[in-house]
Chains A and B, each alone.
Chain A
Amino acid sequence: MAYDKFTILRSTAVPMPIENVDTDQIIPARFLKATERKGFGDNLFRDWRYNNDDTPKPDFVLNNPTYSGKILVGGKNFGSGSSREHAAWAIYDYGFRCVVSSFFADIFKNNCLNIGILPVTVSPEFADKIFAAIEADPKTELEVNLPEQTITLLSTGESESFAINGYKKHNLTNGYDDIDYLLSMKSEIETFAETRPF
């Protein structure tokens, strides 16, 4: 599935300083019944965002007009649990292009990279600085620079570099995915398959 190329993103951010945000919270299982990738953003954080009667919960950050932007800043161990890519789809469909955390769950991180969301792992100290800066001024902007592999708090100029392997960086900056790569080595795969004992 094609996605937007990612190079430099400058945006305000939505803070969610909660640990262990699992993918059942990001999108509950009862909203996984679609057979197409459409409309998942409406149910992003459904049970934290809405009451049982579908009225918005005013104290939840996505319902607070003070906070907005294309960057979601989460607590430690963000995206744990179920492998459902629907969680990443919901985040993308809602309008986020980057998720920042001091620690990501593996499958969620892969799912993000595969659909064009950049997961940025920062130090716990830098995560705290981001949360504090947004609390002080919700209009504070972050700049995520993928070519340079840096994330900067524009209000103070404080910056940190983040890791990403060269292959994934190339894919994200060009809008390529793994299948493009794998289909280009099909005959090599077919030859390898012949050698498998089962």
Chain B
Amino acid sequence: MSTPKTLFDKVWDAHVIRHVEDGPDVLFIDRHFIHEVTSPVAFLGLEGRGASVLFSGRTFATADHNTPTLNQHLPVADPLSANQLAALERNAIKYGISHWGLGHEKNGIVHVVGPENGITLPGMTIVCGDSHTSTHGAFGAIAFGIGTSEVEMVLASQCIMQPKPKKMRISVNGTLSKGVLPKDVILYIISQISASGATGYFVEYAGDVFENMSMEGRMTVCNMSIEMGARGGMIAPDQKTLDYLNGRELAPKGEAWDKLVPYWESLKTDEGASFDIDLTFDAATIEPQITYGTNPGLGTGVTHQIPVAEAVKDGAASYKKSLQYMGFSENESMIGKPIDFVFLGSCTNGRIEDFRAFASIVKGRKKADNVTAWLVPGSHIVEKQIKDEGILDILTNAGFQLRQPGCSACLAMNEDKIPAGKYAVSTSNRNFEGRQGPGARTLLASPLVAAAAAVTGVVTDPRILIDNE
């Protein structure tokens, strides 16, 4: 009988080509996603050293970080953005890499299009020059963000050199209450362990709550693993995982698929396998969440008050700086705080289920006059689903406009910037100072909390609006 292994061990160990003595593992990478912002310098580096792309078929390019979300049929107005998009296309053509650029029917946010087209599969190693690559862990893949030097490394050698991280398991058991979404689960976990609580670890999410969660929900959870410092997070593949992927355009078909199923079914943590840290939370204690500070660990239940400095893990000086930036004070209630902007979208919450949730609240209501809302689907496929399911009509009747796919106001690299001093309830992943625009103030929340804010104009408990239906 061999030593019991975790899911993470099984996938990691299967990709180690060499262990460097007193150094990292040389890890083979099955899939590499690239986008316009973190890849151009990698290609320059490759050319500078006279190297080439080793396996062009294992890299996939999509434009997302720096694309407009209106009038995508027109030339991109910002010359620097246009230049980055052109560089991505040029490099993709030069090296024979698949490229879903602006206007392509498959274009969208890299972490949305990978899974929805079946590029992401269980048991893979997946990297991208983007920290939210952890999203793909929802499928039982080891997926993590890398820097541009590492993008160059993967292009040149299809490998990366990494020390094996420590292992953490986070179990959430029980049943989630009405109005509590996967976003609330992960915001709750981060608020409990802090924005650096999982640094140095790779997380496996386990327990009833994740077993019962949809694939979209699992992606939302794994996506935000990096927001507690974890390199990535993963969930063991199950029938739901395979049902989601089976038949997707680039997923294996027929016999090739059938041959992989037994391997995928073996991808679960063995009884008795050990973790460096094993945490358990009770689903019943989780309510809809909202953040009040400038890191994702500074969040609480939407009906709660802003904690006093002594009650948070951050140092008092940093905490006070954070509240000062937000224009908030200790002990204030979050409910009723006025809102200027609502952003629905991003690789965290830009999928069809997120739009369904948002629509469930705004249906039959009207957007509050004081709110500017940016609703940005994660991909053209999501955009089409929104139209096909009649969600667009619900949104339009409530006074909302749907924009075109991209990362948009999540990182505000394009023109979708929240103005200085304004408050935005955002379904994205980061509430850092200036993240959504210089001086912008971000309150991270689920699509339900965002919808409740959008129709009332203030921070509102969405459960009140669900009850009224």
Contact = CB atoms under 8 A, between A and B. Distances in A.
A29 B411 contact: yes
A93 interface: no
Given A33-B413, A192-B17, A85 B148 contact: yes
A37 B200 CA distance: 28
Contacts of A136: none
Interface residues of B, number: 82
Contact of B24 (A22, A30, A84, A167): A167
Interface in B297-322: 314-315, 317-318, 321
A103 B199 contact: yes
Interface string B49-74: 10100110000000001100000000
A22 B18 CA distance: 33
Contact of A179 (B28, B153, B412, B420): B153
A25 B163 CA distance: 27
Contacts of B44: 35-37
A83 to B, nearest CB: 4
A185 B17 contact: yes
Contacts of A189: 17, 28, 54, 157-159
Name the interface size band of chain A. Answer: 35 or more
Contacts of A123: none
B30 A196 contact: yes
Contacts of A178: 149-150, 153, 160-161
B413 A29 contact: yes
B318 A80 contact: no
B130 interface: yes
Interface centre among B28, B41, B439 (most CB of A within 10 A): B41
A85 B131 CA distance: 11
A52 B231 CA distance: 34
A198 B20 contact: no
B278 to A, nearest CB: 20
A111 to B, nearest CB: 4
Interface in B155-205: 156-163, 165, 195-196, 199-200
Contact of A34 (B80, B165, B295, B435): B80
B149 A85 contact: yes
B393 interface: no
B263 A197 contact: yes
A82 B30 CA distance: 23
B199 A105 contact: yes
A177 interface: yes
B146 A107 contact: yes
Contacts of A19: 314-315, 318
A167 B231 CA distance: 21
Contacts of A25: 432-434
A47 to B, nearest CB: 5
Nearest to A165: B23
A47 B438 CA distance: 7
A81 B131 contact: yes
Contacts of B149: 1, 85, 111, 114-115, 177-179
Contacts of B116: none
Interface string B16-45: 011011111010101000000110110011
Contacts of A1: 45, 48, 149
A132 interface: no
Contacts of A17: 317
Contacts of A182: 26, 153, 156-157, 159, 161
B145 A22 contact: no
Contact of A198 (B66, B165, B260): B260
Nearest to A166: B22
A33 B84 contact: yes
Nearest to B433: A25
A24 B318 contact: no
B430 interface: yes
Interface in B119-142: 121, 123-124, 129-131
Nearest to A30: B413
Contact of B229 (A18, A33, A105, A179): A105
A83 B347 CA distance: 15
A52 B420 contact: yes
A81 B413 contact: no
B147 interface: yes
A21 to B, nearest CB: 9
A150 B432 CA distance: 33
Interface string A9-26: 000000001111010110
Contacts of B433: 24-25, 47
A32 B41 CA distance: 11
Nearest to B321: A18
Contacts of A137: none
Given A35-B87, A47-B438, A52-B438, A106 B199 contact: yes
A34 to B, nearest CB: 7
Nearest to B196: A77
Given A36-B40, A47-B433, A85-B41, 15 more contacts: A18-B321, A19-B314, A24-B433, A30-B417, A33-B80, A47-B438, A52-B439, A75-B318, A83-B130, A83-B145, A83-B146, A84-B147, A178-B161, A183-B156, A193-B158
17 contacts: A20-B195, A28-B434, A30-B412, A52-B438, A77-B199, A84-B147, A107-B131, A111-B147, A165-B23, A179-B153, A181-B161, A183-B51, A183-B156, A185-B18, A197-B263, A198-B30, A198-B252
8 cross-chain pairs, A with B, having the tightest CB-CB distances, nearest first:
A167-B23, A166-B22, A85-B147, A182-B157, A114-B149, A33-B80, A111-B147, A35-B40
Interface of B: 17-18, 20-24, 26, 28, 30, 37-38, 40-41, 44-45, 48-49, 51, 54-55, 65-66, 78, 80-81, 83-84, 87, 121, 123-124, 129-131, 145-150, 152-153, 156-163, 165, 195-196, 199-200, 226, 229, 231, 252, 259-260, 263, 294-295, 314-315, 317-318, 321, 411-413, 417, 420, 430, 432-435, 438-439
